[in-house]
Amino acid sequence: MATRKKHAAFRAAFQGDPGAFSHKAAMDLLGPEVVVEPRQRFEDVFEALRDGDADAAVIPIENTLHGSVHENYDHLLQFDFRIVAETNVRIVHNLIAAPGVRFKDVKRAFSHPVALNQCLDFFKSNPQIQREPFYDTAGSVKMVMSEGLKDAAAIASAVSAEIYGAKILKRSIEDDRQNFTRFFLLRRVDQAPLVLNMQGKKGWKTSLVFTIRNQPGSLFKALSAFALRELSMIKIESRPLRGKPWEYLFYVDFLGNTDEERVQRALSHLQELADMLRVLGCYRV
Amino acid sequence: MATRKKHAAFRAAFQGDPGAFSHKAAMDLLGPEVVVEPRQRFEDVFEALRDGDADAAVIPIENTLHGSVHENYDHLLQFDFRIVAETNVRIVHNLIAAPGVRFKDVKRAFSHPVALNQCLDFFKSNPQIQREPFYDTAGSVKMVMSEGLKDAAAIASAVSAEIYGAKILKRSIEDDRQNFTRFFLLRRVDQAPLVLNMQGKKGWKTSLVFTIRNQPGSLFKALSAFALRELSMIKIESRPLRGKPWEYLFYVDFLGNTDEERVQRALSHLQELADMLRVLGCYRV
């Protein structure tokens, strides 16, 4: 309880309605009492942190089915924040309805189309339930509750059922259980370090972005900065720079702390080879 | 016209309704007369090609905002198809309504929530128009037309307006014009080579997938197979293998044709270092 209380008045901005999977990530990172600052767009989330309307931002950065969220990498380059922690959330979809509504009453299920499409086996086995597209997973729970629907349910996170006082009729109705989203916790550079729950975390990870001109072997040379110092790369991804043919942006995560001498040498070696290099953060894993 | 006629009875499977951006990609690759085999899920698209219900499959593989479609890379590994061509489609959203409906009549706009969220500037400047989430971009045009809605519009591709006999009220209302999706054209190994329009295409690209165990420097060694032969890498992306900690899948695209000797040497060098290596295709760029 002591660590939770520390963050009791702590405001986290994220994209989506309360109960969204980003909210779940914020709770995992900052404790269940985190104060939510929901925003419509990712850009609004970054602006909330910049303008001091939030004490931290929680953003999805990659998903096991859908890949990296390039848009958020773009915002990370545009705003000068630090990644201070990461968490992985398993995307579990639940059938959620107002208290008193029974499974056999449910004729319609509202949710974001992406979530509906991740529960096709459920709909195949329950052809009496009509799929109804809605804005947002958590928002569909909010709507089903506020409209007092008796023949409808929503598909969303367990957290959203709790928040809106709804009941879970069926847990984990998603087709694929290997659906995880990785979230970053962001803070401004001028903010004091956070005390976070680091249970089970022993190592450090550093995330960075760099650009190099595309010449044969240029990436190979850049990666030598890590390989020659036996630093383990955890992620690498290239992205063409639009409007700059043959220039590439690379996202790299490796195991190590920027306080270590070999990491500092690797970064200064990479700096020699890259046109642009930005360390986005160094955090526990 | 000669090249178009060749593919007149050619059936292409894709995910989504006719008029979806995948349909646009199919038309770019195979000509406007391509016969559509729309499917609900990506997996269904692969199965249609496997079972001979389609002559080719068109799948999105990456988007400039949303990253790689990992799910389709998974299917590429599971099904033994070949990538025979690629195309990039700019994601242009248009406001589309039934003939006779004027812009000032429009009170509601239906579309997939992802598309609605990519037109927020438009909705900010037109607060009289309510956003209405729907299943699918092209499907919303179909619905607006079949229901004969007089106060509503859909947001979708120009192709979908044409298909359903609807009218474009406003073109290109998306916030970000740098939104492109890259599509692959797939064929079975047992099918004859296709004659495709290769205007303006001079080079070759090869796409492959490999796995290596995560030891410091293992990726660096793997990339030496390309760097030592001065082969230009166009894309590299790592993906952790779920259930196999510390093993990674890599997607690589490089410029070159598998007929070239230096490419064959690079592949046999990479084969030595990788636990698994699969060439997904070699196609014009």
- CA-angle at A120, arms to A145 and B17, nearest 5°: 100
Contacts of A220 in chain B (CB under 8 A): 220, 223-224, 226-227
pLDDT at A246: 67
Least confidently predicted of A62-71, A243-252, B262-271? A243-252
Residue B3 has pLDDT above 50, yes or no: no
Structure letter (DSSP) for residue A243: T
* A201 pLDDT tier (thresholds 50, 70, 90): confident
pLDDT at B4 over 60: no
Beta strand segments in B135-246, E: 152-156, 167-170, 180-188, 204-213, 233-240
Residues 6+ apart with CB under 8 A from B28: B87, B89
% of chain B beyond a pLDDT of 90:
77
Q: pTM to 2 decimals? A: 0.87
Which residue in B46, B183, B226, B254 is the catalytic one? B183
Evaluate whether B81 touches B58 at the Cβ level (below 8 Å): no
Superfamily of domain B2-90+179-188 in the CATH hierarchy: Periplasmic binding protein-like II (3.40.190.10)
Q: Do A178 and B242 touch (CB under 8 A)?
A: yes
The predicted structure's pLDDT at residue B243: 66
| Nearest Cα residue in chain A from B44 | A120
Q: How many CB pairs under 8 A join A and B?
A: 124
B35 in reach of chain A (CB within 8 A): no
| Residue B189 dihedral angles phi and psi, to the nearest 5° | -65, -30
Q: Which residue of B has its CA nearest to A217?
A: B227
Residues of chain A with CATH 3.30.70.260: 204-284
What is the SS3 assignment for A72?
helix
Are residues B269 and B275 in contact, defined by beta-carbon separation less than 8 angstroms? no
Question: Are A91 and A179 a contacting pair, CB within 8 Å?
Answer: yes
Whether A68 has its CB under 8 Å from any CB of chain B: the answer is yes
**Tokens 């398993």, residue?**
A90
Q: Test B235 with A238 for CB contact under 8 angstroms.
A: yes
Range A136-156 burial, b when 16+ CB lie within 10 A, else e: bbbbbbbbbbeeebeebbbbb
Q: In this structure, are residues B35 and B55 in contact, taking their beta carbons and an 8 Å threshold?
A: no
Beta bridge partners of A155: A95
Complex confidence, ipTM:
0.82
Residue B163 has pLDDT above 60, yes or no: yes
Of the candidates B43, B45, B36, the residue with the CA atom closest to the CA atom of residue B12: B36
Q: What angle do CA A109, A113, A118 make, to 5 degrees?
A: 85
Q: How far is CA B267 from CA A251, A281, B225, B257, B276, in A?
A: 25, 36, 7, 11, 12
In chain A, which residues have their Cβ closer than 8 Å to the Cβ of B45? none
Tell me the average pLDDT across A134-152. 95
pLDDT tens, residue by residue, B96-108:
999 999 999 999 9
Q: Is B183 a residue of the active site?
A: yes
User: CA B23, CA A26: separation in Å to the nearest integer?
Assistant: 39
In chain B, the largest separation of any two C-alpha atoms, in whole Å, equals 65
Q: How confident is the model at residue B93 (pLDDT cuts 50, 70, 90)?
A: very high
Q: Is B180 left (phi over 0), alpha (psi -120 to 50) or beta?
A: beta
* Digit-coded pLDDT (tens) for B11-65: 999 999 999 999 999 999 999 999 999 998 899 999 999 999 999 999 999 988 8
Top-tier CATH class for A94-170: alpha beta
CA distance A78 to B66: 17
B41 in contact with chain A, both atoms CB, cutoff 8 A: yes
Active site residue B64: no
Chain A residues touching residue B180 (CB < 8 angstroms):
242
Q: What are the two backbone dihedrals, phi and then psi, of residue A273, each rounded to the nearest 5 degrees? A: -95, -25
pLDDT at B7: 43
- CA atoms lying within 13 Å on the CB side of residue B198: 12
Domain with CATH 3.40.190.10 in chain B: 2-90+179-188, 94-170
Residue % of chain A over a pLDDT of 90 = 77
Q: How confident is the model at residue A52 (pLDDT cuts 50, 70, 90)?
A: very high
pLDDT tens column, A90-121: 999 999 999 999 999 999 999 998 899 899 89
| Residues of chain B found within 8 Å of residue A213, distances taken between Cβ atoms | none
Query: CATH homologous superfamily of domain B204-284?
Result: ACT domain (3.30.70.260)
What average pLDDT does the segment B208-234 reach?
91
Chain B interface includes A70 (CB < 8 A): yes
